[in-house]
Amino acid sequence: KNEVEQSPQNLTAQEGEFITINCSYSVGISALHWLQQHPGGGIVSLFMLSSGKKKHGRLIATINIQEKHSSLHITASHPRDSAVYICAVSPMYSGGGADGLTFGKGTHLIIQP
């Protein structure tokens, strides 16, 4: 069974700080997703990656396939970044399909002004 572990579970930081959220998984994957969920809100896909690094605005996602590890970085953090960040992976054995998607429990991020 694929396990997805995120760390930290909770993170409080000051506005402007550089934020790192980590995700580790236990089996080979075809894709990894980073999702964002604002309090009381829906879930939005931030990144989908299977190798290397992706950047969108102040957000950067990296993945190391050999180490089975991914990180989500937020530069120049802002209170509007406060949300739950969720890592999800699709194992290789599922054929890469969405039917095998496994989710981490999420990292609850609070950015204080």
- DSSP H helix total and E strand total for the chain: 0, 11
- Kindly state the helix (H) or strand (E) to which residue 13 belongs, with its residue range: strand 10-14
Structure tokens at 97: 């399909």
Q: Does 33 bind other proteins (CB under 8 A)?
A: yes
Map residue 54 onto helix, strand or coil.
Answer: strand
Q: How many chain residues interact with other proteins (CB under 8 A)?
A: 26
CB of 89 to other proteins, least distance (A): 10
39 contacts other proteins (rule: CB under 8 A) = no
Residues near other proteins, by CB under 8 A: 4, 30-31, 33, 35, 41-45, 48, 50, 86, 88, 90, 95-99, 101-106
